[in-house]
Amino acid sequence: MYPKHYFAFAIFMFKIGGYYDPNYAKTNFLRRFHRAYNLFVYASCPIYYSTVELLMLYYTSRSSLYVFVDHVGMIFVHVVGTIKLVFLLTNMKLIKKVMRIIKDIKYESYGEFQPGNIFLAHCTFTSRICYIYIFVGSLIPLINQFKASIKFIDQRHQLEVGNVTCKEIMPYYSVFPFGSATLNWCIVEFIVQSIPMNTYVYLIGAFDVNFVFMLAYLRAHFHCIRGTFETIRERCLVRLGLPEDYETIVDSENPKLEAEIQMEVLKVTKHMQTIIRICEALKDLYLIPLLYEAISVIGILISCLYVMSLEPLLSLEAYGRFQYALALFWQLSLYCFYACEITNSALLVTEGIYFMKWYSCTKSIKSILVFNTMRMQRTIEFTVGKFAPLNLTTYLQILKGTYTYYTFLSKKGQM
C-alpha cells in the first residue's frame, strides 16, 4: 500500500516554519493569518536576531575569548538560518514540482516485491527520525528559557531593588525598545524573546526535514527500480495470463510476451532516467547550501564544546550546549546517512537488472539493459560544494576537524 501523503510532515514543517503560501489557504482569515505569521517569522528571526548578534559581537568581542566564541557560534546559526530561508523561498516552486513528479510513478506487486510497502516503510522510518530531530531541536530554546525562568524566581527580589539587571537574566541577547527597568517589563521582554526563538527552530528545521524526505524518497525509488527490473518477466507473465514457469528459448517465439517485456523495460528505464535527472538537479541545487551547512556545523560545534568545557558539568548552561550539539550531530548524521544510502541503492539497481532472466530477451532489450547497467555503475552522490562527497566518511572527517579546532582553541584560552 502506497502512502497517501509521503511529504505530509515536510509540508507541515513548511507551514510552521513560515514558508507556506497564503494563497493556498481556504479562507480569507487563514490567508491573512499565514501572511502575518510568515512576516513575523522573517522579521523576528533572521533579520532582527542576526542584526543584534552582529552588534553584540562587535561591542563585546574584546571582553573575553569565552564571549567571543559564544557570539561567533550564534552568528553561524543566524547566517545558516538566513541562507536556508532564502533558499527555500526562491526554490519552493521547483521543490514542489519535484514532489509531484516522483510521487506519480507506481508498479504492481509480485511475490516479495511490494513497491507500496517499500515507500510506506521509508516514509514511516523517515518521519519518526525527523520527529525526534525536531523534538531535540525544540528543546534548545526551551532549556534556555527554563534557565532564565529559574533566575527570575531566584533573583526576583534583586531585580526589583536594582541589584540585578534584566539583561543578566534574559536567555538571549536582544534590544528591547521599551526598556526593562521594572519586573513587569522584564517579563514582557522575556516573552518577546522566547516566541521568535521557538519559531526559529521550525524555520531552520523545515529545510532539514524537506531535504531528508527528498533523499529518503529517492532512495525508495531506487529500491523500487531494483525490484521492478528483477520481476519484469514474472509480472509480464501474470498480465498475459501465462504460467509462472513459462519459458522460451527466445522471447520472439511469443510476440505478445516480447512486446510486453519491451514496453515494461522502456517504462522502468524512463523511470530510472527521471530519478537520475532529479538526483543531478537536486545535487546542483543543494550544492552551496550544503557547503554553508557543513561550515556552520563546524563553527557551532566548536562554540558548543568550548562553552561546555568552561561551565560546570551539571549546569543548565552546559546541558543547553550539549543539547545543541546533539541536535547538530543528529542533523549532520541524517544528511550523510541518506546521501550515502542513495549512492548504495543506485548501485544495487544493477543487481536487479542481472537477476531479471535476461538471457531469453531479444537483442534490442539486451542492449537497453547493458546501457542501463553501465549508467548505474557511475556513482550518484551528493557533494558538499564539490569539495567532498556527502557520506559517512565526510561526517567523521567533520567531527574530527571540529575536535581538532576545539583543542587548539582550548589551549589558546589557557595561555
pLDDT at 135 > cutoff 80 = yes
Is 3 within the bounds of a domain? no
Is 1 within the bounds of a domain? no
Domain count, the chain: 1
Is 183 within the bounds of a domain? yes
At CB < 8 A and 24+ separation, what contacts does 22-29 make? none
Our measurement of the distance from residue 281's CA atom to the centroid of its chain's CA atoms, rounded to an integer in Å, reads 17
Condensed to tens digits (0 to 9), the pLDDT of residues 304-358 reads: 888 777 777 777 677 777 877 888 888 888 888 888 989 999 899 998 888 888 8
**pTM for the structure as a whole:** 0.85
Q: What angle do CA 179, 180, 186 make, to 5 degrees?
A: 140
Condensed to tens digits (0 to 9), the pLDDT of residues 280-307 reads: 888 888 888 888 888 888 888 888 888 7
Is 135 within the bounds of a domain? yes
pLDDT at 102 > cutoff 70 = no
At CB < 8 A and 24+ separation, what contacts does 7-12 make? 7/99, 7/103, 7/210, 7/213, 7/217, 9/127, 9/130, 9/131, 9/209, 9/213, 10/206, 10/209, 10/210, 10/213
Distances (CA, A) of 274 to 115, 207, 224, 342: 17, 23, 13, 15
Is 101 within the bounds of a domain? yes
Is 400 within the bounds of a domain? yes
Distance, in Å, from the CA atom of 247 to the CA atom of 74, rounded to the nearest integer, reads: 67
- Parent domain of 289: 8-414
Helix boundaries (H) for 248-310: 255-285, 287-310
Is 2 within the bounds of a domain? no
3-state secondary structure of 383: strand
